[in-house]
Structure 1
Amino acid sequence: MKSVIRTGKTVDEAVSQALEVLNTTKEKAKIEILEEPKSGLFGFIGSKDAVVRVSIPEEKSEVSEIIEEVFSNGTKEKAKEISEPVAEKVQEVEEKTEEFHQEKIEKVASESDEEIAVNLLNDILSGMDIKADLDVVKTESGIEIEIKNADDRDIGIIIGRRGETLDAIQYLVNLAQNKSVEEYTRVVIDINSYRKKREESLIRLAQKTAERAKRYKRNMRLEPMNPYERRIIHSALQKVNGVSTMSEGEEPYRRVIIKFNRK
Protein backbone atom coordinates (compact mmCIF):
# COMPACT_ATOMS: atom_id res chain seq x y z
CA MET A 1 0.00 0.00 0.00
CA LYS A 2 1.14 3.51 -0.80
CA SER A 3 -0.08 6.14 1.66
CA VAL A 4 0.37 9.78 2.66
CA ILE A 5 -0.70 11.78 5.71
CA ARG A 6 -2.00 15.32 5.24
CA THR A 7 -3.53 18.03 7.45
CA GLY A 8 -6.14 20.66 6.70
CA LYS A 9 -8.68 22.99 8.27
CA THR A 10 -11.34 20.41 7.39
CA VAL A 11 -11.29 16.68 6.67
CA ASP A 12 -12.25 17.32 3.03
CA GLU A 13 -9.38 19.78 2.60
CA ALA A 14 -6.85 17.30 4.03
CA VAL A 15 -8.25 14.47 1.90
CA SER A 16 -8.12 16.61 -1.25
CA GLN A 17 -4.44 17.40 -0.63
CA ALA A 18 -3.62 13.71 -0.14
CA LEU A 19 -5.55 12.66 -3.26
CA GLU A 20 -3.66 15.25 -5.29
CA VAL A 21 -0.31 13.92 -4.07
CA LEU A 22 -1.30 10.33 -4.86
CA ASN A 23 -2.90 11.38 -8.17
CA THR A 24 -6.02 9.35 -7.50
CA THR A 25 -9.72 9.70 -6.62
CA LYS A 26 -11.81 9.03 -3.50
CA GLU A 27 -13.30 5.92 -5.09
CA LYS A 28 -9.89 4.28 -5.51
CA ALA A 29 -8.49 5.29 -2.12
CA LYS A 30 -8.79 4.16 1.48
CA ILE A 31 -9.33 7.15 3.80
CA GLU A 32 -8.58 7.10 7.53
CA ILE A 33 -9.36 10.09 9.75
CA LEU A 34 -6.57 10.21 12.33
CA GLU A 35 -7.73 13.42 14.02
CA GLU A 36 -10.96 15.40 13.69
CA PRO A 37 -10.58 19.17 13.36
CA LYS A 38 -11.30 21.32 16.43
CA SER A 39 -12.32 24.98 16.23
CA GLY A 40 -11.01 25.90 19.70
CA LEU A 41 -11.97 28.81 21.93
CA PHE A 42 -13.24 31.85 19.98
CA GLY A 43 -12.59 29.89 16.81
CA PHE A 44 -8.80 29.93 17.02
CA ILE A 45 -7.38 29.44 20.54
CA GLY A 46 -6.42 25.79 20.88
CA SER A 47 -7.76 24.93 17.42
CA LYS A 48 -6.50 21.80 15.67
CA ASP A 49 -6.39 20.82 12.01
CA ALA A 50 -7.82 17.59 10.67
CA VAL A 51 -5.29 14.80 10.07
CA VAL A 52 -6.01 12.04 7.56
CA ARG A 53 -4.18 9.09 6.06
CA VAL A 54 -5.05 8.25 2.45
CA SER A 55 -3.84 4.96 0.96
CA ILE A 56 -3.96 3.27 -2.41
CA PRO A 57 -2.87 -0.26 -3.37
CA GLU A 58 0.39 -0.58 -5.27
CA GLU A 59 -0.26 -1.19 -8.94
CA LYS A 60 0.74 -4.61 -10.22
CA SER A 61 2.96 -4.79 -13.23
CA GLU A 62 1.39 -5.86 -16.50
CA VAL A 63 3.49 -9.06 -16.53
CA SER A 64 2.40 -9.96 -12.99
CA GLU A 65 -1.26 -9.49 -13.91
CA ILE A 66 -0.87 -11.80 -16.94
CA ILE A 67 0.83 -14.50 -14.86
CA GLU A 68 -1.82 -14.20 -12.14
CA GLU A 69 -4.56 -14.52 -14.74
CA VAL A 70 -2.90 -17.61 -16.22
CA PHE A 71 -2.61 -19.28 -12.81
CA SER A 72 -6.26 -18.57 -12.03
CA ASN A 73 -7.48 -20.57 -15.02
CA GLY A 74 -8.85 -24.10 -14.68
CA THR A 75 -5.89 -25.70 -16.47
CA LYS A 76 -3.59 -24.76 -13.62
CA GLU A 77 -0.98 -27.46 -14.12
CA LYS A 78 -0.63 -26.79 -17.86
CA ALA A 79 -0.47 -23.07 -17.22
CA LYS A 80 2.22 -23.66 -14.64
CA GLU A 81 4.40 -25.48 -17.17
CA ILE A 82 4.11 -22.59 -19.60
CA SER A 83 4.42 -19.76 -17.11
CA GLU A 84 7.28 -21.03 -14.91
CA PRO A 85 10.02 -20.22 -17.48
CA VAL A 86 8.34 -16.87 -18.10
CA ALA A 87 8.24 -16.15 -14.37
CA GLU A 88 11.93 -17.02 -14.07
CA LYS A 89 12.76 -14.63 -16.91
CA VAL A 90 10.64 -11.93 -15.32
CA GLN A 91 12.44 -12.47 -12.00
CA GLU A 92 15.81 -12.16 -13.76
CA VAL A 93 14.79 -8.91 -15.47
CA GLU A 94 13.39 -7.50 -12.24
CA GLU A 95 16.63 -8.28 -10.38
CA LYS A 96 18.74 -6.59 -13.06
CA THR A 97 16.38 -3.58 -13.06
CA GLU A 98 16.62 -3.34 -9.29
CA GLU A 99 20.43 -3.42 -9.51
CA PHE A 100 20.35 -0.66 -12.12
CA HIS A 101 18.01 1.49 -9.99
CA GLN A 102 20.18 0.95 -6.94
CA GLU A 103 23.27 2.05 -8.88
CA LYS A 104 21.46 5.23 -9.95
CA ILE A 105 20.32 5.92 -6.38
CA GLU A 106 23.84 5.40 -5.02
CA LYS A 107 25.29 7.63 -7.73
CA VAL A 108 22.91 10.49 -6.94
CA ALA A 109 23.39 10.02 -3.20
CA SER A 110 27.17 10.14 -3.65
CA GLU A 111 27.04 13.41 -5.57
CA SER A 112 27.98 16.44 -3.50
CA ASP A 113 25.92 19.64 -3.59
CA GLU A 114 28.54 21.19 -5.85
CA GLU A 115 28.34 18.31 -8.33
CA ILE A 116 24.55 18.48 -8.58
CA ALA A 117 24.60 22.22 -9.30
CA VAL A 118 27.59 22.04 -11.65
CA ASN A 119 26.19 19.12 -13.66
CA LEU A 120 22.88 20.90 -14.18
CA LEU A 121 24.55 24.19 -15.11
CA ASN A 122 26.78 22.37 -17.61
CA ASP A 123 23.67 20.80 -19.16
CA ILE A 124 22.00 24.23 -19.46
CA LEU A 125 25.07 25.82 -21.08
CA SER A 126 25.44 22.83 -23.41
CA GLY A 127 21.79 23.21 -24.42
CA MET A 128 22.52 26.88 -25.23
CA ASP A 129 25.54 25.74 -27.31
CA ILE A 130 27.89 27.69 -25.03
CA LYS A 131 31.36 26.52 -24.03
CA ALA A 132 32.72 27.83 -20.73
CA ASP A 133 34.57 26.80 -17.57
CA LEU A 134 33.04 26.78 -14.09
CA ASP A 135 34.81 27.92 -10.92
CA VAL A 136 32.98 26.53 -7.87
CA VAL A 137 33.36 27.70 -4.26
CA LYS A 138 31.49 26.23 -1.27
CA THR A 139 30.75 28.93 1.32
CA GLU A 140 28.90 29.05 4.64
CA SER A 141 25.89 30.60 2.92
CA GLY A 142 25.79 28.15 0.00
CA ILE A 143 27.51 27.57 -3.33
CA GLU A 144 29.03 30.23 -5.61
CA ILE A 145 29.66 29.35 -9.25
CA GLU A 146 31.58 31.69 -11.56
CA ILE A 147 31.23 31.09 -15.32
CA LYS A 148 34.58 31.80 -16.99
CA ASN A 149 36.31 31.75 -20.39
CA ALA A 150 33.11 32.19 -22.41
CA ASP A 151 33.17 34.12 -25.71
CA ASP A 152 32.21 37.80 -25.53
CA ARG A 153 29.03 37.10 -27.50
CA ASP A 154 28.11 34.21 -25.20
CA ILE A 155 28.68 36.37 -22.12
CA GLY A 156 26.01 38.78 -23.36
CA ILE A 157 23.64 35.88 -24.06
CA ILE A 158 24.12 34.38 -20.59
CA ILE A 159 23.59 37.71 -18.81
CA GLY A 160 20.64 38.84 -20.93
CA ARG A 161 18.74 42.11 -20.56
CA ARG A 162 19.49 43.52 -17.10
CA GLY A 163 20.69 40.09 -16.00
CA GLU A 164 17.33 38.41 -16.65
CA THR A 165 18.79 35.33 -18.37
CA LEU A 166 21.44 34.89 -15.67
CA ASP A 167 18.72 35.16 -13.00
CA ALA A 168 16.60 32.58 -14.84
CA ILE A 169 19.52 30.12 -15.03
CA GLN A 170 20.26 30.65 -11.34
CA TYR A 171 16.57 30.10 -10.48
CA LEU A 172 16.48 26.79 -12.39
CA VAL A 173 19.66 25.51 -10.73
CA ASN A 174 18.37 26.46 -7.26
CA LEU A 175 15.04 24.79 -8.00
CA ALA A 176 16.66 21.51 -9.01
CA GLN A 177 19.32 21.71 -6.29
CA ASN A 178 16.75 21.96 -3.49
CA LYS A 179 13.98 19.80 -4.93
CA SER A 180 14.53 16.74 -2.72
CA VAL A 181 16.58 17.97 0.23
CA GLU A 182 15.60 19.05 3.73
CA GLU A 183 18.23 21.77 4.17
CA TYR A 184 18.11 24.62 1.63
CA THR A 185 21.35 25.39 -0.21
CA ARG A 186 21.53 28.75 -1.99
CA VAL A 187 23.37 28.69 -5.32
CA VAL A 188 24.68 31.99 -6.70
CA ILE A 189 25.74 31.99 -10.36
CA ASP A 190 27.84 34.81 -11.79
CA ILE A 191 29.83 35.47 -14.96
CA ASN A 192 32.83 37.79 -15.27
CA SER A 193 31.87 39.28 -11.86
CA TYR A 194 28.68 40.75 -13.40
CA ARG A 195 26.71 40.60 -10.14
CA LYS A 196 29.44 42.34 -8.13
CA LYS A 197 29.76 45.11 -10.75
CA ARG A 198 25.95 45.41 -10.95
CA GLU A 199 25.72 45.68 -7.15
CA GLU A 200 28.33 48.45 -7.05
CA SER A 201 26.49 50.27 -9.86
CA LEU A 202 23.14 49.99 -8.03
CA ILE A 203 24.63 51.31 -4.78
CA ARG A 204 26.01 54.34 -6.63
CA LEU A 205 22.62 54.85 -8.31
CA ALA A 206 20.82 54.63 -4.95
CA GLN A 207 23.14 57.17 -3.31
CA LYS A 208 22.98 59.58 -6.24
CA THR A 209 19.17 59.38 -6.47
CA ALA A 210 18.83 59.85 -2.69
CA GLU A 211 20.86 63.07 -2.93
CA ARG A 212 18.57 64.28 -5.73
CA ALA A 213 15.49 63.46 -3.64
CA LYS A 214 16.85 65.59 -0.78
CA ARG A 215 17.99 68.40 -3.07
CA TYR A 216 14.65 68.73 -4.89
CA LYS A 217 12.59 67.66 -1.84
CA ARG A 218 10.50 65.14 -3.74
CA ASN A 219 10.19 61.40 -4.22
CA MET A 220 12.22 59.64 -6.90
CA ARG A 221 11.10 56.54 -8.82
CA LEU A 222 13.71 54.08 -10.08
CA GLU A 223 13.38 51.77 -13.07
CA PRO A 224 11.71 48.35 -12.53
CA MET A 225 14.06 45.83 -10.92
CA ASN A 226 13.99 42.21 -9.81
CA PRO A 227 13.72 41.40 -6.05
CA TYR A 228 17.48 40.86 -5.68
CA GLU A 229 18.31 44.32 -7.10
CA ARG A 230 15.56 46.03 -5.10
CA ARG A 231 17.02 44.57 -1.90
CA ILE A 232 20.39 46.13 -2.78
CA ILE A 233 18.72 49.58 -3.10
CA HIS A 234 16.80 49.19 0.17
CA SER A 235 19.93 48.04 2.01
CA ALA A 236 22.13 50.83 0.58
CA LEU A 237 19.74 53.57 1.82
CA GLN A 238 18.62 51.95 5.06
CA LYS A 239 20.74 54.28 7.24
CA VAL A 240 20.73 57.37 5.02
CA ASN A 241 19.16 60.36 6.80
CA GLY A 242 16.39 62.29 5.08
CA VAL A 243 15.10 59.50 2.84
CA SER A 244 13.30 56.16 3.08
CA THR A 245 12.49 53.50 0.51
CA MET A 246 9.47 51.46 -0.51
CA SER A 247 8.51 49.22 -3.43
CA GLU A 248 5.41 49.59 -5.57
CA GLY A 249 3.85 47.89 -8.57
CA GLU A 250 3.49 44.29 -9.68
CA GLU A 251 6.20 41.97 -11.01
CA PRO A 252 7.97 42.28 -13.39
CA TYR A 253 7.37 46.05 -13.26
CA ARG A 254 7.85 46.46 -9.51
CA ARG A 255 10.19 49.36 -8.69
CA VAL A 256 11.76 51.16 -5.72
CA ILE A 257 10.52 54.59 -4.64
CA ILE A 258 13.06 56.76 -2.79
CA LYS A 259 10.94 59.03 -0.59
CA PHE A 260 12.00 62.42 0.73
CA ASN A 261 11.22 62.56 4.45
CA ARG A 262 9.66 65.90 5.23
CA LYS A 263 10.22 67.17 8.78
Structure 2
Amino acid sequence: MKSTVKMGKTVKEAVDKALKVLNADEKEVEIKILEEPKNGLFGLIGAKDAVVEVSIIEEEETEKTVKSSPNKEETIFEDDITEEIIVEDTIIEEPVVEEIAMEEASELEEIPVEEFQAEDFNTQKAETFLMDVLDKMNIKADVESQYLEHSLSLKIVGIDERDTGIIIGRHGETLDALQYLVNLVANRHSDHYIRVSLDVNNYREKRVKSLENLAHSMARKAKKYKKNMRLEPMNPYERRIIHSALQNVSQITTTSDGDEPHRRVIIKYVKK
Protein backbone atom coordinates (compact mmCIF):
# COMPACT_ATOMS: atom_id res chain seq x y z
CA MET A 1 0.00 0.00 0.00
CA LYS A 2 1.52 3.31 -1.09
CA SER A 3 1.38 5.94 1.65
CA THR A 4 2.93 9.22 2.78
CA VAL A 5 3.07 11.31 5.96
CA LYS A 6 2.52 15.05 5.65
CA MET A 7 2.14 18.06 7.93
CA GLY A 8 0.02 21.17 7.70
CA LYS A 9 -1.39 23.93 9.85
CA THR A 10 -4.76 22.18 9.50
CA VAL A 11 -5.73 18.57 8.86
CA LYS A 12 -7.15 19.52 5.47
CA GLU A 13 -3.93 21.26 4.45
CA ALA A 14 -1.89 18.20 5.42
CA VAL A 15 -4.27 15.89 3.54
CA ASP A 16 -4.15 18.09 0.44
CA LYS A 17 -0.35 17.92 0.45
CA ALA A 18 -0.47 14.13 0.72
CA LEU A 19 -3.04 13.81 -2.07
CA LYS A 20 -0.83 15.93 -4.32
CA VAL A 21 2.17 13.69 -3.65
CA LEU A 22 0.15 10.51 -4.21
CA ASN A 23 -1.61 11.99 -7.25
CA ALA A 24 -4.93 10.76 -5.91
CA ASP A 25 -8.26 12.13 -4.76
CA GLU A 26 -9.91 11.70 -1.38
CA LYS A 27 -12.12 8.77 -2.45
CA GLU A 28 -9.08 6.69 -3.38
CA VAL A 29 -7.25 6.94 -0.07
CA GLU A 30 -7.39 6.03 3.59
CA ILE A 31 -6.69 8.94 5.95
CA LYS A 32 -5.17 8.46 9.39
CA ILE A 33 -4.73 11.51 11.63
CA LEU A 34 -1.50 11.08 13.60
CA GLU A 35 -1.61 14.45 15.38
CA GLU A 36 -4.29 17.10 15.66
CA PRO A 37 -3.17 20.72 15.18
CA LYS A 38 -2.79 22.97 18.23
CA ASN A 39 -2.46 26.74 18.30
CA GLY A 40 -0.16 26.89 21.33
CA LEU A 41 0.62 29.90 23.48
CA PHE A 42 0.46 33.12 21.41
CA GLY A 43 0.22 30.84 18.40
CA LEU A 44 3.92 30.00 18.88
CA ILE A 45 5.16 28.15 21.95
CA GLY A 46 3.69 24.66 22.05
CA ALA A 47 2.04 25.07 18.65
CA LYS A 48 1.67 21.85 16.72
CA ASP A 49 0.96 21.18 13.06
CA ALA A 50 -1.48 18.53 12.01
CA VAL A 51 0.19 15.28 10.95
CA VAL A 52 -1.63 12.78 8.75
CA GLU A 53 -0.81 9.50 7.08
CA VAL A 54 -2.56 9.04 3.76
CA SER A 55 -2.54 5.65 2.03
CA ILE A 56 -3.85 4.67 -1.38
CA ILE A 57 -6.48 1.93 -1.09
CA GLU A 58 -5.68 -1.06 -3.26
CA GLU A 59 -8.20 -1.84 -6.01
CA GLU A 60 -9.47 -5.03 -4.35
CA GLU A 61 -9.92 -3.22 -1.04
CA THR A 62 -11.80 -0.43 -2.81
CA GLU A 63 -14.25 -2.89 -4.34
CA LYS A 64 -14.83 -4.59 -1.00
CA THR A 65 -15.36 -1.24 0.68
CA VAL A 66 -17.90 -0.15 -1.91
CA LYS A 67 -19.85 -3.40 -1.62
CA SER A 68 -19.91 -3.47 2.18
CA SER A 69 -20.36 0.26 2.76
CA PRO A 70 -22.12 1.87 -0.20
CA ASN A 71 -23.21 4.85 1.87
CA LYS A 72 -19.89 5.53 3.59
CA GLU A 73 -19.73 9.05 5.00
CA GLU A 74 -17.08 11.49 3.85
CA THR A 75 -14.21 12.45 6.13
CA ILE A 76 -14.99 15.51 8.23
CA PHE A 77 -12.15 17.93 8.99
CA GLU A 78 -12.46 19.81 12.25
CA ASP A 79 -10.01 22.51 11.23
CA ASP A 80 -11.69 25.31 13.16
CA ILE A 81 -11.58 23.59 16.54
CA THR A 82 -8.96 25.17 18.80
CA GLU A 83 -7.54 23.84 22.02
CA GLU A 84 -6.44 25.88 25.01
CA ILE A 85 -2.88 25.18 26.05
CA ILE A 86 -1.80 25.63 29.66
CA VAL A 87 1.92 26.26 29.93
CA GLU A 88 3.65 25.67 33.23
CA ASP A 89 7.12 26.88 34.09
CA THR A 90 9.63 24.03 34.09
CA ILE A 91 12.86 24.21 36.06
CA ILE A 92 15.64 22.05 34.67
CA GLU A 93 18.57 21.42 36.97
CA GLU A 94 21.85 20.26 35.50
CA PRO A 95 24.92 19.10 37.44
CA VAL A 96 27.78 21.61 37.48
CA VAL A 97 31.17 20.13 36.64
CA GLU A 98 34.70 21.37 37.28
CA GLU A 99 37.03 19.47 35.00
CA ILE A 100 37.27 19.91 31.24
CA ALA A 101 36.68 16.19 30.65
CA MET A 102 33.40 16.39 32.56
CA GLU A 103 32.28 19.47 30.62
CA GLU A 104 33.09 17.73 27.35
CA ALA A 105 31.05 14.71 28.38
CA SER A 106 28.16 16.98 29.36
CA GLU A 107 28.23 18.68 25.96
CA LEU A 108 28.77 15.62 23.76
CA GLU A 109 26.58 13.02 25.47
CA GLU A 110 23.89 11.69 23.16
CA ILE A 111 21.08 9.23 23.54
CA PRO A 112 21.67 6.15 21.35
CA VAL A 113 19.22 6.26 18.49
CA GLU A 114 18.30 4.44 15.32
CA GLU A 115 19.25 5.93 11.99
CA PHE A 116 16.58 8.39 10.87
CA GLN A 117 15.55 9.50 7.45
CA ALA A 118 15.57 13.09 6.24
CA GLU A 119 11.86 12.76 5.58
CA ASP A 120 11.07 12.14 9.24
CA PHE A 121 8.25 14.53 10.05
CA ASN A 122 9.84 15.55 13.38
CA THR A 123 12.65 17.29 11.51
CA GLN A 124 10.04 18.97 9.33
CA LYS A 125 8.38 20.23 12.51
CA ALA A 126 11.67 21.80 13.62
CA GLU A 127 12.08 23.67 10.33
CA THR A 128 8.45 24.78 10.32
CA PHE A 129 8.70 26.01 13.91
CA LEU A 130 11.85 28.02 13.15
CA MET A 131 10.28 29.66 10.11
CA ASP A 132 7.17 30.50 12.16
CA VAL A 133 9.31 32.17 14.85
CA LEU A 134 11.13 34.28 12.26
CA ASP A 135 7.79 35.24 10.72
CA LYS A 136 6.38 36.27 14.12
CA MET A 137 9.47 38.44 14.64
CA ASN A 138 8.94 40.05 11.22
CA ILE A 139 12.35 38.83 10.11
CA LYS A 140 12.80 37.97 6.45
CA ALA A 141 15.22 35.09 6.03
CA ASP A 142 15.64 31.60 4.60
CA VAL A 143 16.56 28.41 6.41
CA GLU A 144 19.06 25.93 4.99
CA SER A 145 19.01 22.42 6.44
CA GLN A 146 21.57 19.64 6.30
CA TYR A 147 20.85 16.13 7.54
CA LEU A 148 23.74 14.26 9.14
CA GLU A 149 23.71 11.00 11.06
CA HIS A 150 21.50 11.53 14.13
CA SER A 151 21.67 15.31 13.75
CA LEU A 152 20.11 18.21 11.89
CA SER A 153 21.97 21.43 11.07
CA LEU A 154 19.81 24.51 10.50
CA LYS A 155 21.33 27.74 9.19
CA ILE A 156 19.49 31.04 8.94
CA VAL A 157 20.63 32.79 5.76
CA GLY A 158 19.58 35.73 3.61
CA ILE A 159 19.08 37.92 6.69
CA ASP A 160 20.15 41.55 7.07
CA GLU A 161 22.79 42.61 9.60
CA ARG A 162 20.39 44.27 12.05
CA ASP A 163 18.15 41.21 12.24
CA THR A 164 21.21 39.00 12.62
CA GLY A 165 22.07 40.86 15.82
CA ILE A 166 18.54 40.36 17.13
CA ILE A 167 18.68 36.61 16.51
CA ILE A 168 22.13 36.24 18.10
CA GLY A 169 21.56 38.36 21.20
CA ARG A 170 24.23 39.08 23.81
CA HIS A 171 27.03 36.55 23.35
CA GLY A 172 24.66 34.23 21.51
CA GLU A 173 22.12 33.94 24.33
CA THR A 174 19.08 34.44 22.08
CA LEU A 175 20.44 32.04 19.47
CA ASP A 176 21.08 29.41 22.16
CA ALA A 177 17.56 29.82 23.55
CA LEU A 178 16.05 29.46 20.08
CA GLN A 179 18.18 26.38 19.43
CA TYR A 180 16.89 24.88 22.69
CA LEU A 181 13.27 25.42 21.64
CA VAL A 182 13.88 23.95 18.19
CA ASN A 183 15.38 20.84 19.83
CA LEU A 184 12.28 20.48 22.01
CA VAL A 185 10.01 20.68 18.99
CA ALA A 186 12.09 18.23 16.95
CA ASN A 187 12.16 15.57 19.65
CA ARG A 188 8.70 15.91 21.18
CA HIS A 189 6.71 12.65 20.99
CA SER A 190 9.55 11.01 19.06
CA ASP A 191 11.41 7.77 19.70
CA HIS A 192 14.22 8.96 17.42
CA TYR A 193 16.37 11.56 19.21
CA ILE A 194 18.19 14.00 16.96
CA ARG A 195 20.47 16.85 17.93
CA VAL A 196 19.60 20.11 16.21
CA SER A 197 22.25 22.81 15.82
CA LEU A 198 21.23 26.33 14.85
CA ASP A 199 23.46 29.04 13.37
CA VAL A 200 23.06 32.37 11.61
CA ASN A 201 25.61 33.82 9.18
CA ASN A 202 28.35 31.50 10.56
CA TYR A 203 28.17 33.20 13.97
CA ARG A 204 29.21 30.10 15.93
CA GLU A 205 32.41 29.58 13.92
CA LYS A 206 33.34 33.24 14.40
CA ARG A 207 32.53 32.99 18.12
CA VAL A 208 34.86 30.01 18.56
CA LYS A 209 37.77 31.91 17.02
CA SER A 210 36.98 34.95 19.17
CA LEU A 211 36.97 32.85 22.36
CA GLU A 212 40.23 31.12 21.44
CA ASN A 213 41.89 34.51 20.85
CA LEU A 214 40.53 35.73 24.19
CA ALA A 215 41.85 32.65 25.98
CA HIS A 216 45.40 33.06 24.67
CA SER A 217 45.38 36.81 25.31
CA MET A 218 44.35 36.34 28.95
CA ALA A 219 46.87 33.51 29.38
CA ARG A 220 49.67 35.84 28.27
CA LYS A 221 48.50 38.41 30.82
CA ALA A 222 48.40 35.76 33.56
CA LYS A 223 52.02 34.87 32.81
CA LYS A 224 53.13 38.49 32.54
CA TYR A 225 51.58 39.63 35.82
CA LYS A 226 51.85 36.21 37.54
CA LYS A 227 48.24 36.33 38.66
CA ASN A 228 44.97 34.54 37.97
CA MET A 229 42.58 35.95 35.38
CA ARG A 230 38.80 35.61 35.79
CA LEU A 231 36.73 35.64 32.61
CA GLU A 232 33.13 36.74 32.31
CA PRO A 233 30.36 34.14 32.85
CA MET A 234 29.91 31.73 29.94
CA ASN A 235 27.71 28.77 29.10
CA PRO A 236 29.19 25.21 29.27
CA TYR A 237 29.90 25.09 25.54
CA GLU A 238 31.94 28.33 25.58
CA ARG A 239 33.78 27.36 28.77
CA ARG A 240 34.82 24.13 27.11
CA ILE A 241 36.32 26.11 24.22
CA ILE A 242 38.45 28.11 26.68
CA HIS A 243 39.59 24.96 28.50
CA SER A 244 40.52 23.23 25.23
CA ALA A 245 42.41 26.25 23.87
CA LEU A 246 44.70 26.41 26.93
CA GLN A 247 45.06 22.78 27.98
CA ASN A 248 48.59 22.50 26.50
CA VAL A 249 49.86 25.99 27.40
CA SER A 250 52.80 25.87 29.82
CA GLN A 251 52.43 27.42 33.30
CA ILE A 252 48.67 27.77 32.76
CA THR A 253 45.75 25.76 34.14
CA THR A 254 42.04 26.45 33.91
CA THR A 255 39.12 25.73 36.22
CA SER A 256 35.46 26.68 36.34
CA ASP A 257 33.97 28.52 39.30
CA GLY A 258 30.50 29.65 40.35
CA ASP A 259 26.94 28.52 39.74
CA GLU A 260 24.96 28.65 36.52
CA PRO A 261 24.23 30.96 34.82
CA HIS A 262 27.13 32.92 36.37
CA ARG A 263 29.72 30.17 36.11
CA ARG A 264 33.03 31.37 34.67
CA VAL A 265 36.52 30.16 33.74
CA ILE A 266 39.53 31.12 35.85
CA ILE A 267 42.89 31.10 34.05
CA LYS A 268 45.55 30.33 36.67
CA TYR A 269 49.27 31.05 36.52
CA VAL A 270 51.42 28.15 37.77
CA LYS A 271 55.04 28.67 38.82
CA LYS A 272 57.66 26.37 37.29
TM-score (norm 1): 0.57
Greater relative CO (CA pairs within 8 A, separation 6+): 2
Per-residue CA deviations over 1:25-76 (Å, capped at 9, x if unaligned) read: xxxxxxxxxxxxxxxxxxxxxxxxxxxxxxxxxxxxxxxxxxxxxxxxxxxx
Structure 2 residue corresponding to 1:254, chosen from 251, 259, 263: 263
Q: CA separation in 2, counterparts of 1:152 and 1:118?
A: 22
Report the structure number with the largest CA radius of gyration: 1
* Cα offsets for 1:106-151 (capped at 9, x unmatched): 4599644542221111111112121101111122361111101112
User: Against the structure 1 CA distance between its residues 219 and 152, is the aligned structure 2 distance closer, same or farther, given a 3 Å change threshold?
Assistant: same
Q: CA deviation at 1:250?
A: 1.8
In structure 2, do the counterparts of structure 1 residues 230 and 116 end up closer, same or farther at CA, with 3 Å as the change threshold? Answer: same
Unmatched 5+ stretches in structure 1: 1-97
- Trace 1:205-220 onto structure 2 (pairs within 5 A): 205-220=214-229
Q: Which amino acid aligns with 1:180?
A: H
Q: Which of 242, 248, 251 is residue 233 of structure 1 equivalent to?
A: 242
Please give the TM-score of this superposition, normalised by the length of structure 2: 0.56
Query: Which ranges of structure 2 fall in alignment gaps of 5 or more residues?
Result: 1-29, 36-49, 55-116
In the alignment, does 2:119 pair up with 1:187? Answer: no
8 Å Cα contact 1:114/1:138 also seen in 2: no
Q: SS where residue 33 of structure 2 aligns?
A: helix
Q: C-alpha separation between the residues in 2 aligned to 1:207 and 1:141?
A: 34
Give the C-alpha shift of residue 233 in structure 1. 0.7
Question: Alpha carbons of 1:107 and 1:121: their partners in 2 closer, same or farther (altered >3 Å)?
Answer: farther
Q: Deviations over 1:178-204 (max 9, x none)?
A: 222334311111111111101100001
SS in 2 for 1:241: coil
What is the alpha-carbon distance in structure 2 between the residues aligned to residue 154 and residue 107 of structure 1? 37
What's the counterpart of residue 160 of structure 1? 169
Give, as a single letter, the amino acid of the residue that structure 2 aligns with 1:217. Answer: K
